[in-house]
């Protein structure tokens, strides 16, 4: 079975806590991160000025923040399948 490797090649902030991500296959995903911004790693991103410090890590091919928070590009690519579980987990972080 072949697995597709996903990489983020571009992003833009489209509204508070929401990014549009462009993947290496041309797919675009618009993700509202606010529901999962809890806990030690992702909680600081709930400060909009900190959230806006997002950068594209060209080595890891994903988005990252100054505190080391990041996401697996495959999770971001399949966000609609993962967001419910991530939101539930975030409530316990």
Give percent of the chain with pLDDT exceeding 70.
97
* 33, two tokens: 């991160």
Q: Domain residues of the chain, as ranges?
A: 8-90
- Look up the CATH superfamily of 8-90: NE0471-like N-terminal domain (3.30.2020.10)
- 52-87 per-position pLDDT tens digit: 999 999 999 999 999 999 999 999 999 999 888 888
- Each as own residue / partner, the long-range contacts of residues 32-40 (CB below 8 Å, 24 or more positions apart, any chain) are 35/83, 35/86, 35/87, 35/90, 36/83, 36/86, 36/87, 36/89, 36/90, 37/90, 38/90, 38/91, 38/93, 39/90, 39/93, 40/93
The sheet that has 28-32: what strands, in order across it? 8-15, 18-23, 28-32
Give the chain's mean pLDDT.
93
């Amino acid at each position: 079975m072949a697995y597709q490797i996903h990489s983020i090649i571009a992003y833009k902030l489209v509204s508070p806590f929401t990014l549009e991500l462009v993947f290496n296959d041309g797919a675009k995903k618009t993700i509202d991160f606010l529901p999962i911004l809890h806990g030690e790693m992702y909680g600081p991103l709930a400060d909009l000025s900190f959230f806006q410090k997002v950068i594209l890590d060209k080595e890891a091919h994903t988005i990252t923040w100054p505190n080391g928070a990041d996401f697996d590009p495959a999770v971001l690519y399949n966000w609609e399948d993962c967001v419910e579980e991530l939101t539930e987990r975030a409530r316990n972080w």
